[in-house]
Chain A
Amino acid sequence: MAVSQNEQELIRSILAGSSEAFEQLISPYGDRLFNTLVHILRNAEAAEDVLQDALIQAYVKLETYQGRSSFYTWLYRIAVNLAFSHRRREHPMISMDSQKSALGEEPVSTVDPVDAASLRAERAELLHAAIGELPDEFRAVIILREIEGCDYKTIGDILDISQGTVRSRIHRGRLQLREKLIPLFKLFKQNSPMS
């Protein structure tokens, strides 16, 4: 993905000293990036810290951006690297319920497992936990693919790995998730009132 003309102009303005241009450049990606970082770090507070660090680095190092990859890819590379560095230092383990509360979302109720919404929420909780248990190299590709929606080439650019490696890691990560979750998912599906 080449740098759009609009992004090129914004980058020139930023290098000339415009902070407003930086906000315009980052805005399309900021929220998405935050979501990705929360899933990587499983901690909203840490995700905010890493996001800010990533934006600082992006601003400081913008003059080194050569445009060979998209700005999105370049920014995500910075952020994902910071996230995994942070994770290696901190290793936070916080449940989705507490995260939802912190983010203003209502916690999941587990009183009535038959309720479809509860079942979906339960599946999400289990999936979230299982993703957190994946090795970093598998988690990164899975999140970028499944949550961020990146294609294999973009994932390879962000993580600086080949597309063949992306393909291999995605499949191996999915196999690990499958081993942990599929028996439960099938059970939920059987018990679901809408199945």
Chain B
Amino acid sequence: MSKINEELISAYLDHEVSTEERELVEAALARDPNLQKLKDELELLREGFDLLPVYHAHDLEDVLQQAVGQARTPQPEVKRPAGTNHRKIWFTACASLAACLLVMITLLKLPRDTKEEQLALAEDSSGLSPEPHTNFQPELFSAESDLADGAVEAAEAPEGMAGGFGGVNNAEVLEAETLSSALHRSAPENSPALGAPPRAANSAHQRAAVQGGLAAQSRFNADPNQAKLVERSRLEADQVFNISVSRNELSRLFDILDPPVVADAPEKNSDDLESATIQPKSLDNVAPSVPLQEKQAKSRPDVTFAVNQTPDELVSLLGKLQAKQYFADNDDKRNEYVEAKDRYTDLLKRKMADKLRVLFLITIEPAKEPAEQQED
């Protein structure tokens, strides 16, 4: 017996068959007792439906009047499938957030002069890049004079220079990259991140690279046109951190920011790097027009260090900096960095990129006691 024949039995009972189908079913029922049995059982089943109670709505007129009343209100209450409102709300929230972010970015960029920025960029590309080459020839390098220039010519810090979790200055990113490229040209085996050369590269050439980079940075800072670039670069970085270190700690800081690829005689290398970067007497020789404390308060960073990090890498890096007390030494701040991992992750998702652009604005503290520095 085919399945089709069985369906015809139900249709036959419901009088939903054609004339031909009815003849087929009746013929099959006559010859097949199983089919007849099926028909009888289905009929018995259908009899049960006649026994089902019939339910009547109470006050149907009230139900109708209430329905009309609700339908006529400005926002009738209509039940929707679960999830629809949530999807609409979620989409609306995301769209609103995206719109707000666009407005914020636009407003932050509005006061800038496009032409001036382009000029500054042009100057940057034409002026800064060649200079590190010159300074990176050890025989031409003059650490004292360059560092002195950098200390004297530190420009006023732009307003809104954020500390910790803040905005980013385009020019600082640009100068960081320029400094990085300068270091790379002097030490090609270095990691892509800006920073001190690896410990293994303990040579006058490497020392010169760092000092030359610092010098280039200083000259960059001195140019007022670059200030606008620095401001703009802030907008491009995802996170900005301010660090203030003494010259003694600068190399150790770079060891954290840009860990050495090959560990080789760390003590010796670090000492060499420290001696290469410490020029306290050059600062003492400076005769700033602005009082030193005021200069420090308003000065722009001496070194900008840009690095691309995943959220995990960034939290790990911040933890190391925290451990070395480069940040505020308190539990709240430490927890803030760790708890920010979720925020970094969300930020990365919005960027649709693999890593966050992180900027470290490093200010070199002047030496307070020449005696201590001489001992180092």
Contacts and interface: CB of A to CB of B under 8 A. Distances in A.
B339 interface: no
A35 B7 contact: no
Given A52-B63, A178-B45, A182-B44, 17 more contacts: A55-B68, A56-B70, A59-B67, A59-B71, A82-B79, A85-B79, A85-B81, A99-B55, A103-B53, A124-B52, A147-B49, A151-B16, A152-B14, A167-B7, A168-B7, A171-B7, A174-B42
Contacts of B53: 96, 99-100, 103, 105, 124
B262 interface: no
B66 interface: yes
Contact of A174 (B45, B55, B70, B82): B45
A80 interface: no
Interface of A: 19, 22-23, 26-27, 30-31, 34-35, 38-39, 44, 47-48, 51-53, 55-57, 59-60, 82, 85-86, 89, 96, 99-100, 103, 105, 120-121, 123-124, 126-128, 145-147, 151-152, 163, 167-168, 170-171, 174, 177-178, 181-182, 185-186, 189
B76 interface: yes
A183 B41 CA distance: 10
B60 interface: yes
B48 interface: yes
Given A167-B10, A174-B10, A127 B48 contact: yes
A37 B11 CA distance: 24
- 5 nearest CB pairs, A to B: A55-B67, A34-B57, A171-B10, A124-B51, A59-B71
21 contacts: A23-B68, A27-B64, A30-B60, A34-B55, A34-B56, A34-B60, A47-B55, A48-B58, A56-B70, A57-B78, A59-B68, A103-B53, A121-B51, A124-B51, A151-B14, A151-B16, A167-B7, A182-B41, A182-B44, A182-B45, A186-B44
A57 B67 CA distance: 9
Given A124-B48, A124-B52, A128-B52, A23 B41 contact: no
B109 interface: no
B6 to A, nearest CB: 6
Contact of B61 (A23, A56, A163, A167): A23
Given A151-B16, A170-B14, A186-B44, A35 B56 contact: yes
Interface of B: 6-7, 9-11, 14, 16, 41-42, 44-46, 48-49, 51-58, 60-61, 63-68, 70-72, 76-79, 81-82
B48 A26 contact: no
A52 B66 contact: yes
A99 B56 CA distance: 11
A22 B9 CA distance: 41
Contacts of B56: 31, 34-35, 103
A177 B45 contact: yes
Contact of A147 (B41, B52, B57, B65): B52
Most chain A C-beta atoms within 10 Å of own C-beta, residue among B53, B56, B77, B78: B53
Contacts of B10: 167, 170-171, 174
A176 to B, nearest CB: 10
Contacts of B14: 145, 151-152, 170
A38 B55 contact: yes
B55 A127 contact: no
Contacts of B60: 27, 30-31, 34
B41 A178 contact: yes
Given A145-B14, A182-B41, A53 B52 contact: no
B57 A31 contact: yes
Contacts of A171: 6-7, 9-11
A167 B136 CA distance: 89
Contacts of B63: 30, 48, 51-52, 55
A96 B76 CA distance: 33
A117 B89 CA distance: 55
B127 to A, nearest CB: 69
Given A52-B66, A85-B81, A171-B7, A44 B45 contact: no
A22 B54 contact: no
B138 to A, nearest CB: 78
A120 B51 contact: yes
A27 B68 CA distance: 13
A156 to B, nearest CB: 11
Contact of B55 (A44, A121, A123, A152): A44
A22 B78 contact: no
A52 to B, nearest CB: 5
Contacts of B68: 19, 22-23, 55, 59
A56 B67 contact: yes
A116 to B, nearest CB: 11
Nearest to B62: A52
